Chain A
Amino acid sequence: MNKPVDSGESKTTIISKKVKENFEFWLFVLPGMIITFIFHYVPLYGIQIAFRRFSPRRGIWESAWVGFDHFERFFNSPYFLTTITNTFILSFYSLVAGFPIPIMLALMLNSFRHKRYRKIIQTVTYAPNFISTVVMAGMLLLFLSPRVGIVNNLIGIFGLESINFMAEKSMWRHIYVWSGIWQNTGWNSVIFFAALAGVSPEFHEAAIVDGATKFQRILYIDLPTILPTATILLILNCGSMLSVGFEKAFLLQNDLNLSVSEIISTYTYKVGLVQNDMSYSTAIGLFNSVINSILLLTVNRVANKLSGHSLI
């Protein structure tokens, strides 16, 4: 609050000062708000094309109203079950396999005594996080290439036949998930590592004097410390269960693995901008985000009941 500077200052000057101050603040926030309004709020208005037969020539208002036709079409199409199942399996697998590993890495690094070596491991494991999705997918294709890839060369040493990984449907999910773990584990451990730095050394000292082993200290001191952080991240991850990112899946797709790699976001893109069926694509996207919100709220409620930690 703006306090009067000296007793002689009258009320009106304080008010005019306040107005001037706030005017300045509004100028500060205005550019961001205008941009956000145009590119994040105006599209909300455009969602109505999900209920119309949109044609670019006619514009949004003039396009015919068709109600829930596009949604029905999606529910009845063979892609409905495939894309939803694929999306769900992919994110569930990523979550179950990928969530505990950064926590374990942080716990191990934290209990590790040698500071220099720890620093080296951190620097190296953070690095893949900055590799672009395109390069990541490119690396996978290079390593897993049936003719010249290093993985098949290794397999060859053991006298086994080479595998065309990217054409193998059963391999695709493993490749997607484990390459993601390779890329993100280090970076995802940062937040847990930071939380562990907040543990007072006195706890550990007291535990040592009482004869606790290192493993017991990790279990009863370190782990409970990061539990709230872990819960909130888990909620966030569960809430975005059906919003698997477009980028990597799209790049790793080919005709042979499409039956497991076609997920909601890639399908939305193809329908909307490749086949130009914009209304249908918007309807699928809308359906997806409604499900996402329901998931987030449900998971949040369950987590709140179980552990007392919640997001909202």
Chain B
Amino acid sequence: MSLQRAASMRKAKLMKRSKGDIIFDAVIFVILTVIFLIVAYPLYFIIISSFSDPAAVAGGMVVWIPIKPNLRGYEEVFRNNAVVRGFLNSLLYTSVGTLLNLVVTLPTAFALSRKEFQGNRFVTVFYLITMFVNGGMIPTYLVVKSVKFLDTIWALIVPGALGVYNMFICRTYFKTNLPNELIEAAKLDGCGNTRFFVSIALPLSGALIAIMVLYYGIGHWNSYFSALLYISDKNKFPLQLVLRSILIQNEAQLAQQGVSTAQQLKEQARRRELVELMKYSLIIVSSIPVMIIYPIIQKYFVKGVLIGSVKG
């Protein structure tokens, strides 16, 4: 009896919050809400601006809701050939690149997850070294140039085909998720390593593959540095380089030069507003692929960080 009472008292103590704790919780609630607003508002602002009237955006009237909602910014984006071409190029680079990443990374990680592999230590050290020393921008550029990769998709996807950090995440995953008994049993049935990898290991690794597609895919979609170095043909520019020329270098200013009449000046001002508005729409359009896969893969990526943090 007394034991039960002690237990229930204990429970009551756990349930009850002291006055100090209630205040503490309230403070945390306020701080978190402020953080939430600071992060969310700029994103929200871009969305509502992209649908608003150009003049209203330029005049600072758009604050909480879109003003005179319309799609002119988006029309302008899709009328821009460079953007459309860049978008398609990026889709190609991202899908081929991510596929290559998987084809190279997963088998390597699988082999390194097996104790029977006698080259294990050597290969691991081989990759660890690359995390600490590198040739730098110019020597790497010279190699890419000498294998004739300049101005091709290969320059963007082959050099980084295996991300060492990602590979170690995969290795840890295979190590912890493929029980030894399973492998032994498969071997008894005459299943070789290749067959085991393709028809048992991969089908069991859906979460891992999802994480890798997210990490590698978004990396390709968002990268601009390697394209800046290796791609000079404008027709092959990925979207991020096109974005750079419009958002950063302001090269979308198509306004006619040398005008003087009031009518033309007014027209020019309107045009400038439209170009500014288009930037908001462009930001949204360029984020569409990421926005599509973000919610799908969200439940996996925290897991990815977890696997990575278990052992590097």
Contacts and interface: CB of A to CB of B under 8 A. Distances in A.
Interface of A: 1-2, 5, 18, 21-22, 24-26, 28-29, 31-33, 35-36, 38-47, 49, 105, 108-109, 111-113, 117, 120-121, 123-128, 130-135, 137-139, 141-143, 147-148, 150, 153-154, 156, 182, 185-186, 190-191, 194-195, 205, 208-209, 213-215, 229, 246-247, 251, 268-269, 272-273, 278, 281-282, 285-286, 289, 293
A35 B158 contact: yes
Nearest to B249: A251
A194 B305 contact: yes
Interface stretch (B75-83, B205-213, B239-247): B239-247
Contacts of A36: 126-127, 130, 162
Contact of B136 (A1, A137, A286): A286
Contacts of B28: 108, 111-112
Contacts, number: 250
B39 A128 contact: yes
B115 A1 contact: yes
Contacts of A127: 39, 43, 294
A278 B145 CA distance: 14
Contacts of B221: 132
Contacts of A247: 224-225
A247 B232 CA distance: 18
A124 B40 contact: yes
Interface string B21-50: 100110011011001101110110110000
A25 B111 contact: yes
Nearest to B19: A213
B29 to A, nearest CB: 7
Count class of interface residues, chain B:
35 or more
Nearest to A104: B31
Given A24-B192, A35-B158, A135-B283, A194 B306 contact: yes
Given A29-B111, A142-B280, A194 B140 contact: no
Given A1-B116, A36-B130, A28 B138 contact: no
Contact of A28 (B108, B223, B248): B108
Contacts of B167: 32
Contacts of B105: 32
Interface in B180-222: 188, 192-194, 197, 218, 221-222
Contacts of A185: 35
A290 to B, nearest CB: 10
A51 B75 CA distance: 54
Contacts of A229: 309
A141 B283 CA distance: 13
Contacts of B309: 191, 194-195, 229
A292 B195 CA distance: 44
Interface string B92-124: 000000000001110110111011111100010
Contacts of B135: 40, 42-47
- The residue in A132, A209, A269 that gathers the most chain B C-beta atoms within 10 A of its C-beta is A132
B64 interface: no
